[in-house]
Amino acid sequence: PKVSKKRRHNHSSWAFRQLQTFIEYKAREAGIITHYVDPSYTSQTCIRCNHISKNNRNRLSFRCEKCGYENNADLIGAMNIEHKTRDYRYILESQGCLSATQTNA
């Protein structure tokens, strides 16, 4: 029997949501702040020149149409999420919401 696209999406999203809830719980238990980064365009944005284009990504490969940088598209996405996270952390530190030094308990 054919399963609707919406149902497939809901089913596959369930495991990710469960993992997200577990990570939030464990982080809260350890006193760690969680923040969600918008993943939009992260695998289409060049980490060298910041050029955004659907043409930069072709399935698993990434090649910037502007500067020619090449790498794995999923790795590019992860690196861009890391950059967004660092930007957010910098904003919190500059506002005095976070300590710039890490302490180990």
Kindly report, residue by residue over 9-53, the tens digit of the pLDDT: 777 777 888 999 999 999 999 998 888 889 999 999 999 999 999
Q: Return the structure tokens found at 51.
A: 């050029």
Residue 63 has phi, psi (to 5 degrees) of -145, 115
Looking at residue 100, its pLDDT comes to 57
Q: Is the dihedral of CA 46, 51, 53, 55 positive or negative?
A: negative
Residue percentage of the chain with pLDDT more than 90? 58
pLDDT tier at 92 (50, 70, 90 boundaries)? confident
Phi, psi of 101 (to 5 degrees): -105, 145
**Cα–Cα dist 78/47, whole Å:** 10
Can you give the pLDDT at residue 102?
53
